[in-house]
Amino acid sequence: MSSTKPELEKYYKLREEYGVSIYVDRDTVYITTPREKLVDIASKLFNEYQCTFRTCVGTDERPINGFFSLTHIFTDDRSCLYVLVKTYLESDDPRVPSIVSVVPGADWCEMEARDLLGIEFTGRQQYRLVLPPEWPNNVYPLRKEVPYNYRPPVRGVSERVTTTVETGVVPIGPYHPALHEPEYFELYVEGERVVDVNYRGFHVHRGIEKLGESRMTYQQVNFLAERICGICGFEHSTCYALAVEKAAKLEVPERAQFIRSIVLEVERLHSHLLLLGVAFHLLGYDTGFMHTWRIREKIMYIAELLTGSRKTYGINLIGGVRKDINEEKKLKVLETIRELEREFKSFIETALSVPQVKRRLTGTGVLPKEYAVKLSVEGPVARASGINRDARRDLPYAAYKYASFKVPVYTEGDNMSRILVRVDEIFESISIIEQLLDKIPKGPIMLDRYEIPEGRVGVQVVEAPRGGDVHFVITGRGKPYRWRVRAPTYSNIPALKVMLKDQPLADAPITIASIDPCFSCTDRILVIRSDGRREWIRLAGVGI
C-alpha cells in the first residue's frame, strides 16, 4: 500500500546494496540483516540518511525460533518513519559487532543487552552497566528461563571514592541535596575547574521490564509503565498503550486520542514548571522557585480534575482512556490555563531578568551541536543545541496532527537556551490544550472489543517533557512477550560529560539539572537489595 511512497525508495535500495531483507508495514521499516553487515547498515542510516538513533533491544526469542535477536531502533524524523534493524544471533554464540564506533549513543543500550541477556559485543570495550558486580556471571535476568522473582545471594560491599594525586575529586551523590534521586557523579577538578566526570548510575534498577513480561497482563502493564517515572509517567503509559495498539493494529476512538494528548500536554506543563522551579532554587533564587511552584499548583489541580489524581493519572488502557472530559471540566480547564498563561508570562519575564539568574545560565554548560548529534540526545537538550526534532511533529501520534504548534529551537546549547526552550514550550502547550479542547470530537472513549494477536511488533516514540520515550513491544499471550523502555534521560546523561568539562565547579549542579534528569526512569529493571562496590562507567567519550 505504502510501497510507492518516495521516501521509502532509499530503504528499498538497501536491499540491492547489502542484500538485506526489507519489509514495510505502515510507518515502520523492518530491516533484517546478517550480523556482518550490521555496522555498515547502521553507519548508512545514521550518517547518510540522518536517522536518529533511539535505542537497541535485545530479545530472547529462543522459545519461538531458537535465536537471540538484537533490534536497533532508528527513526527517520523527516519522512515520519520508524526503522528497525534486526539481527538474529545463534543461541550458543550470541555475538554481534558493536555499532558504538559509528553511533556513540548506542554505548549504554548495548551494555544493557550484554548484562541482561548475555549478548556479547565485539569491537568495543565491554563492562558491566546495570547489574551489581556481585551478581553471578552466568545469570542473565531477561532470558526467559530466569524467573522474575529470582534473587541470587548478593553480599553488599561498600563503595569507595577513588582519589588520584593529580586532580581533586568532588563526589556528588549517591545521596546529595542537589540530586533528588540516588545517582553518583564524581567530578575531577583542577582548582575550580572541572576537568573530567565519572558517572555511576543504575542504583535503582527495578526489574520493571521483566515484571511486565512475566507477572502482569496487558492492561496491568499500563499502570506499571506509569510508575516508571514520577514526573512524566503518563508519557510512558501512553507510549506503551500506543505501541501495543500499533502492534495489534487497533483503531482507537478519536476522542480517546484527544484526551490523551490533552493530558500529555498538562503533564508537560507541570514538568517544565517543576524544572524551572528547581533551576531557580539551584541558582539561589528561591523566590522564583516558590512562585513557579505556586503557578504549577494550578496545573496539578487540573490534572486531578481531568484524571482523578494529581500524578500517576491511571486513565490509560489499551484501546482508549477511562475518563471523559465533560463540558463543565472543559470550561474550568480553559479558564485555569488562561489565567496561568497570564500569570506565568509576567512572572517569567521578571524571573529571567534577575541578574544572577541571567549570568549563571548564559554561556554555562554548553553542548555543541556536533556532540548533540553524535550522542543522540533528546528533547529540550537537543533543541537547545540546534537540533530541530520533536516527535510530536515528526512522528505524529495521538491527536497531535490536529494541533498546530511551533517547535522552539535555540542554537547556543547553553543552560539558558535549555531553560528558554522549556519556557517557550510552556506557551506552546497551553495553545495545544486550547486547540484540542476546542476540536475534541464526540464519540466513545474506549474500544468495545479487540484482540491482540501474538508475535507482532510495535514501537512508539512519545515526546516526553525531557525528550523521546521509546517503548518497544513484542506481543505475547495475554501479556507482552518483550517490553523495552527507554527513557529520555538515558541518552541525555552521556552528554553531561561534554557540558561539565572546563566549567567552574559552582555551575555543575545547575548544568546537571538543566537536562532535567530523571534518574529512576533511566535505571529501571532489577531489584538490588544490597548496594555493592561497582565498576566505574566511563561516559561515552566522543573524542574527549
Partner 1 sequence: MSFIKRALKPVEVIIVAAKVGRVTIKYPFEEPLISPDFRGKIEIDPTKCIGCGACVNACPPNALEMIESEDKKTLRYFVGRCIFCWRCIDVCPVGAIKGTREFELATNDVLDLFDFIIHSKTRCNTCGKMTSETTRMQKFILERAPIAEVYSSKCPECRRNSLIRAVAMRKVGLYE
Phi, psi dihedral angles at 108 (to 5 degrees): -70, -45
Only one residue has cell 518497544, namely 472
Only one residue has cell 544490597, namely 530
- Please, which residue, 318 or 537, has the CB nearer to partner 1? 318
With binding defined as CB under 8 A, does residue 206 bind partner 1? no
Answer for which of 8, 169, 195, 305 binds partner 1 (CB under 8 A) is: 305
Phi, psi dihedral angles at 201 (to 5 degrees): -120, -155
- Cβ neighbour number for residue 193 with a 10 Å cutoff: 13
451: left (phi over 0), alpha (psi -120 to 50) or beta: beta
Residues whose CB falls within 8 Å of the CB of residue 84, separated by 6 or more in sequence, listed in order:
28, 29, 30, 31, 71, 72, 73, 74, 457, 459
With binding defined as CB under 8 A, does residue 504 bind partner 1? no
- Please, which residue, 315 or 539, has the CB nearer to partner 1? 315
In angstroms, what is the minimal distance from the CB of 1 to partner 1?
37
What is the Cα Rg of the chain in Å?
A: 23
Answer for which of 294, 401, 406, 439 binds partner 1 (CB under 8 A) is: 294
- Are 483 and 165 in contact by the 8 Å Cβ rule? The answer is no
- Please, which residue, 235 or 390, has the CB nearer to partner 1? 235
List C-alpha distances in Å: 398 to 228, 239, 266, 484: 20, 10, 14, 20
With binding defined as CB under 8 A, does residue 349 bind partner 1? yes
- Are 462 and 468 in contact by the 8 Å Cβ rule? The answer is yes
Answer for which of 10, 62, 323, 369 binds partner 1 (CB under 8 A) is: 323
Amino acid making up residue 243: A
The DSSP bridge partners found for residue 172 are: 185
- Please, which residue, 51 or 351, has the CB nearer to partner 1? 351
Three-state SS string over 129-167 comes to: CCCCCCCCCCCCCCCCCCCCCCCCCCCCCCCCCCCCCCC
Residue count (the chain): 544
Dist. CA 305–CA 437, nearest whole Å: 15
Residue 40 C-beta-side C-alpha neighbours within 13 Å: 11
In angstroms, what is the minimal distance from the CB of 220 to partner 1?
4
- Please, which residue, 304 or 502, has the CB nearer to partner 1? 304
With binding defined as CB under 8 A, does residue 309 bind partner 1? yes
List C-alpha distances in Å: 143 to 82, 97, 138: 26, 20, 11
With binding defined as CB under 8 A, does residue 355 bind partner 1? yes
With binding defined as CB under 8 A, does residue 159 bind partner 1? no
With binding defined as CB under 8 A, does residue 304 bind partner 1? yes
SS3 content of the chain, % helix, strand, coil (to 5): 45, 20, 40
- Please, which residue, 301 or 405, has the CB nearer to partner 1? 301
Region binding partner 1 by CB under 8 A among candidate stretches 38-46, 308-316, 333-341, 405-413? 308-316
In angstroms, what is the minimal distance from the CB of 514 to partner 1?
21
Region binding partner 1 by CB under 8 A among candidate stretches 130-138, 296-304, 488-496, 511-519? 296-304
With binding defined as CB under 8 A, does residue 362 bind partner 1? no
In angstroms, what is the minimal distance from the CB of 389 to partner 1?
34
In angstroms, what is the minimal distance from the CB of 409 to partner 1?
26
With binding defined as CB under 8 A, does residue 334 bind partner 1? no
Query: Within positions 218 to 247, which residues make up the interface with partner 1, using CB under 8 A?
Result: 219-220, 222-224, 227
With binding defined as CB under 8 A, does residue 287 bind partner 1? yes
Number of residues that bind partner 1 (CB under 8 A): 32
Answer for which of 163, 346, 362, 388 binds partner 1 (CB under 8 A) is: 346
In angstroms, what is the minimal distance from the CB of 350 to partner 1?
5
- Are 376 and 109 in contact by the 8 Å Cβ rule? The answer is no
- Cβ neighbour number for residue 213 with a 10 Å cutoff: 22
Q: Which three cell numbers stand for residue 96?
A: 554481534
Query: Within positions 406 to 425, which residues make up the interface with partner 1, using CB under 8 A?
Result: none
- Please, which residue, 348 or 526, has the CB nearer to partner 1? 348
The DSSP bridge partners found for residue 164 are: none
With binding defined as CB under 8 A, does residue 353 bind partner 1? yes
- Please, which residue, 316 or 514, has the CB nearer to partner 1? 316
In angstroms, what is the minimal distance from the CB of 223 to partner 1?
4
- Please, which residue, 217 or 530, has the CB nearer to partner 1? 217
Answer for which of 301, 405, 427, 450 binds partner 1 (CB under 8 A) is: 301
Region binding partner 1 by CB under 8 A among candidate stretches 18-26, 56-64, 257-265, 302-310? 302-310
Q: Which three cell numbers stand for residue 122?
A: 565485539
- Cβ neighbour number for residue 473 with a 10 Å cutoff: 32
- Please, which residue, 7 or 297, has the CB nearer to partner 1? 297
Only one residue has cell 535485545, namely 58
Phi, psi dihedral angles at 138 (to 5 degrees): -100, 15
Q: Which residues form the interface with partner 1 (CB under 8 A)?
A: 216-217, 219-220, 222-224, 227, 287-288, 291, 294, 297, 301, 304-309, 312, 314, 322-323, 346-347, 349-351, 353-355
